[in-house]
């Protein structure tokens, strides 16, 4: 029986994880879970899963739920996330929260020897060096949940690192892949949320449309697989059937294919190295798909992807700034405070604004994340709609 802490249980990845886990009650148990504010969905999950501990976003929610579920222990905020992730009986922490709020519980879980099934890519972008160092030191596995990284992880199985020529991450292109930059000036939130292939949380759906998500994934791949940025390529693949590929020294391509169903990478992270059938598996018939298309990425069209390589190669807290500025700007767009193209402008401006001269520590990285948020919030107030 694998005991799981599920951080972000009410979200898109959280919901898919609950489906995977409840399909195999003899193998998996959710010992602790967290959610931020969705009381209705959270309540259903507590009834369904009967966890020992639940982390929530506010004291008010904790007070209400404690009355309703007297046998469950509740926690609030960051300490609630950390407690959920470090309960003694937990074997693996599935990080399905959105944003760099995932860093603290992930680090504490690693220090407590818990394996990590990582969906929360912002954590690795913000502090990949420190997360991976802590994982190595504590002999903890960091298993990818992101579909591209799960695909690469599967392709790399049994390969020698020295035989790897490059990683090829596929990108669906997001909701605006067929629009010109000029046409982006007037797009709305509603249009941005129409992802052609995947149903996901709001923030990642916006990130997919700006190609910020692919930028975050390039940096995520660098840390997960220890691959140089020059060896990480991205191709546009509108069908989202090939989830990603590797290329070996002799020119052989290995790819992982499948339907757009996040239950697959989630389940593989939980059953690795074993495999199990997926309940109500999505139909997948290659003869129906018939055609797979691949196109080069246009870095002028998607400047946030180009910027990922710049900040990634600079290292230090440059990726932290890139991620923090985007979290604030993407949220401001979702909240109707800024227009679409302002997201990229604020991310670019934050990166240009940041200067790093000496080697930094994790504590400094956390401080820079906070400072960047404050600065971008101020810019949004001052010039958001301009
Ligand atoms: P979502 O918005 O649907 O869900 C987010 C979850 O995090 C919710 O349960 C919410 O309660 C919780 N949360 C939000 N803010 C919080 C806070 N401040 N404190 C504590 N909890 C908070 O997001 P999602 O689409 O499920 O994505 C989750 C993560 O997985 C992201 O990092 C995303 O990039 C990654 N990811 C998602 C997908 C996908 O298909 N949705 C695919 C690959 C990777
Ligand atoms: Mg992905």
Q: Are residues 172 and 92 in the same domain?
A: no
Domain shared by 119 and 43, yes or no: yes
Q: What is the pTM of this model?
A: 0.98
pLDDT confidence band for 196 (50 / 70 / 90): confident
86 within some domain: yes
Looking at residue 218, what is its pLDDT?
Answer: 99
Q: How far is the CA of 5 from the centre of ligand 2 (A)?
A: 21
**When comparing pLDDT for 196 and 58, which is higher?**
58
CA distances from 272 to 124, 154, 247, 252 (A): 21, 10, 23, 25
What does the mean pLDDT of the chain come to?
97
User: H helices within the chain, ranges in order?
Assistant: 12-23, 39-49, 59-68, 77-86, 103-111, 121-137, 147-156, 189-192, 202-210, 212-225, 263-271, 286-289, 303-314, 318-334, 340-353, 362-383
Which residue lies with its CA nearest to atom 41 of ligand 1? 200
Query: Which residue is closest in CA terms to ligand 1's atom 39?
Result: 200
Structural domain boundaries enclosing 98: 2-144
* Ligand 1 pocket test, candidate residues 7, 10, 13, most atoms within 8 A of CB: 13
The reply to whether 136 and 236 lie within a common domain is: no
pLDDT in tens, 81-140: 999 999 999 999 999 999 999 999 999 999 999 999 999 999 999 999 999 999 999 999
Tell me: do 138 and 210 sit in the same domain: no
Q: Does the annotation flag 197 for ligand binding? A: no
Quick one: how far is CA 143 from the chain centroid?
Answer: 12
Q: How far is CA 252 from CA 129, 137, 239, 248, 265, in A?
A: 30, 34, 22, 5, 23
Candidates 98, 122, 174: which one to mutate for ligand 1, based on the most atoms within 8 Å of Cβ?
98
Here the CATH number for the domain that contains residue 84 is 3.40.50.720
Task: Compute the distance from residue 148 Cα to the ligand 2 centre, in Å.
Answer: 5
**Pocket around ligand 1: residues whose beta carbon is below 6 Å from it?**
8-14, 34-36, 38, 57, 96-98, 101, 119-122, 146, 198, 200-204, 262
Phi, psi angle pair for 358, to nearest 5°: -125, 170
Res 198: pLDDT: 86
Whether 106 and 163 map to the same domain: the answer is no
Mean pLDDT of 202-212: 97
CB 189 within 8 A of CB 200: no
What is the spatial distance between Cα 291 and Cα 72, in angstroms, rounded to a whole number? Answer: 51
Residues 42 and 115 in one domain: yes
Question: How far is Cα 15 from Cα 38, in angstroms, rounded to an integer?
Answer: 13
């Amino acid at each position: 029986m694998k005991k799981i802490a599920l951080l972000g249980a009410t979200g898109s990845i959280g919901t898919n994880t609950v489906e995977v886990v409840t399909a195999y009650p003899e193998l998996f148990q959710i010992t602790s879970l967290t959610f931020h504010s969705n009381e209705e969905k959270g309540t259903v999950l507590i009834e369904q899963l009967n966890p020992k501990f639940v982390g929530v976003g506010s004291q008010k929610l904790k007070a209400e739920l404690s009355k309703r579920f007297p046998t469950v222990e509740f926690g609030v905020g960051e300490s609630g996330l950390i407690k959920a992730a470090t309960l003694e009986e937990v074997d693996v922490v599935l990080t399905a929260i959105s944003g760099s709020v995932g860093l603290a519980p992930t680090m504490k879980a690693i220090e407590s020897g818990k394996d990590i099934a990582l969906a929360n890519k912002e954590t690795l972008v913000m502090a990949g060096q420190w997360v991976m160092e802590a994982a190595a030191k504590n002999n903890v596995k960091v298993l990818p949940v992101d579909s591209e990284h799960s695909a690469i992880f599967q392709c790399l199985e049994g390969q020698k690192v020295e035989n790897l020529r490059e990683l090829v991450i596929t990108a669906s292109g997001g909701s605006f892949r067929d629009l010109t930059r000029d046409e982006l000036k007037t797009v709305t939130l509603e249009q941005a949320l129409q992802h052609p292939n995947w149903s996901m949380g709001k923030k990642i759906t916006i990130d997919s449309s700006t190609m910020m998500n692919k930028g975050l994934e390039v940096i995520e791949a660098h840390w997960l697989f220890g691959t140089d940025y020059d060896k990480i390529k991205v191709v546009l693949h509108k069908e989202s059937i090939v989830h990603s590929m590797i290329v070996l020294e002799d020119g052989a391509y290995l790819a992982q294919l499948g339907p757009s169903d996040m239950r697959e990478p989630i389940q593989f992270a939980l059953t690795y190295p074993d495999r199990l059938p997926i309940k109500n598996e999505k139909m997948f018939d290659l003869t129906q798909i018939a055609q797979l298309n691949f196109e080069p990425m246009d870095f002028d069209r998607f400047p946030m992807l180009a910027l990922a390589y710049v900040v990634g190669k600079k290292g230090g807290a440059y990726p932290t700034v890139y991620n923090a500025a985007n979290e604030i700007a993407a949220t401001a767009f979702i909240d109707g405070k800024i227009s679409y193209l302002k997201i990229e402008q604020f991310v670019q401006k934050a990166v240009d604004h940041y200067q790093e001269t000496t080697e930094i520590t994790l504590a400094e990285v956390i401080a820079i994340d906070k400072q960047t948020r404050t600065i971008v919030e101020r810019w949004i107030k001052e010039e958001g709609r301009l």
